[in-house]
Amino acid sequence: MLKAVILIGGPQKGTRFRPLSLDVPKPLFPVAGLPMVQHHIEACASVPDIREILLLGYFPAQQLQQFVADMIAAYKIRIRYLQEYQALGTAGGIYHFRDQISSGNPDAFFVLNGDVCGDFPLQEILNFHTSLSTPSLITIMGTEATRQQSTMYGCIVEDKETHQILHYVEKPSTFVSNLINCGVYICSPDIFKRVGEIFNSRQDFYSCEDSEGTESIQLEQDILMPIAGTGQAYVYTTDRWWSQIKTAGSAIYANRHYLQLYHKTKNERLAVNGPDKPTIIGDVYIHPTATVDPSALLGPNVSVGKNAVIGAGVRIRESIILGNTTIQEHSCVLYTVVGWNSTVGAWTRLEGTPCDPNPNKPFAKMDNVPLFNAEGKLNPSITILGNDVKVPSEVVVINSIILPYKELSASTKNEIIL
């Protein structure tokens, strides 16, 4: 029997994802029609041996309650949200809830960072982990990155033959290795002993004033770095699609890839062309309750949420339209996220700049560009409308971020409207 733990962080995390995470915890932001971590849950639920999924974070429990209930109903698997009383770090939470994780004696448990997306090869990782001749305390899913981008991640040096991890450095200042940590692991329950040793050795520190009451333990620095080179950690390398979801721009990128993945297993989620239906180009998700005028043209890579209303002649491409939003006739939406309950007038144009990985560089990942550049100017990015935003008819909104509850009165370009 196996379990899975998904690390979803808490309210102070995911700040680069604002304003999209202002109204909903970032892990619940919809990508390709599903809350971001539902994709993790779906991947876990498809591994027959996984019997329970534990979401670990420090969001107030009521923010996750409905979601957890929906997930139990949808996947018929045990799912619980366990709330940390403070940010305990990527290993601290796992240690704090070790009894819940160990109950029922799982042979191993997966750990997935909630802020990554991808075509998770969980069964393959499991097969690799269990086939090792010497037992692995932790097996990391790794992937290749460019030399330049690798230093933004945990970097792994492996023994090419045995796949043992010889050396691990978290976000090194100079180049260490092209092989990076994807934030997806499978652990033996023996790992609790390791984390326990760290926890116990720090008791004096935790109770002193310098610690400021934080008891966090990091999986990367406190566990992976010291056990590298001891023969107890392994890496499983994949070349499947994988990315972080850190900035709002990465939501559009993740949306496109999850829609593409639906071809493999969830074809029924993709919209199809037909009489009295809107024209669909490429991969498009339309929630069954949304109303889309048959003269609208959607795609590629568009998601339309619950009860959204898309008017006549509307053109949408590479965008996420969230629930209860209305886009009136003949407007055009490109590389944009439109927040919940927003209204976009007629003949209006919303347009952003794609933040895709460099297509000319093999293994390039998305750059997590900050909102502002060194001169304090907004970096070109997707356009984002927060929730309950009103955009009038016949305006142009380009590379702009409009915070929730704003009513625009004119066109904007390269601006944040506060």
- For position 235 contacting ligand GDD by CB under 6 A, the verdict is no
Kindly indicate which of the ranges 177-185, 321-329, 370-378, 382-390 contains the residues binding ligand GDD, using the contact rule CB under 6 A.
177-185
Residues in the chain: 418
Cβ contact 170:221 at 8 Å: yes
Q: Of 290 and 334, which has the nearer Cβ to ligand GTP?
A: 334
> If you write DSSP's letter for every residue of 205-222 in order, what string do you get?
HHHSGGGTT-----IIII
Smallest separation, CB 176 to ligand GDD (Å)? 12
Smallest separation, CB 402 to ligand GTP (Å)? 19
Smallest separation, CB 248 to ligand GDD (Å)? 16
The binder of 349, among ligand GDD, ligand GTP, none, by C-beta within 5 to 8 A per type, is ligand GTP
- For position 332 contacting ligand GTP by CB under 6 A, the verdict is yes
Q: In the window 47-66, what residues touch ligand GDD (CB under 6 A)?
A: 56-58
Q: Of 93 and 278, which has the nearer Cβ to ligand GDD?
A: 93
CA distance 238 to 339: 34
Residues sharing a CB contact under 8 Å with residue 200, sequence separation 6 or more, in sequence order: none
> If you write DSSP's letter for every residue of 304-331 in order, what string do you get?
E-TT-EE-TT-EEESEEE-TT-EE-TT-
CA distance 236 to 289: 41
* Beta strand segments in 128-275, E: 138-144, 154-158, 165-170, 179-187, 233-237, 242-244
CA distance 368 to 416: 18
- For position 215 contacting ligand GDD by CB under 6 A, the verdict is no
Cβ contact 389:402 at 8 Å: yes
Among 53, 180, 334, 385, binds ligand GTP (CB under 6 A): 334
The binder of 158, among ligand GDD, ligand GTP, none, by C-beta within 5 to 8 A per type, is none
The binder of 334, among ligand GDD, ligand GTP, none, by C-beta within 5 to 8 A per type, is ligand GTP
- For position 349 contacting ligand GTP by CB under 6 A, the verdict is yes
Residues that bind ligand GDD (CB under 6 A): 7-9, 13, 56-58, 84, 87-90, 93, 113-116, 153-154, 170, 180-183, 216, 220, 244
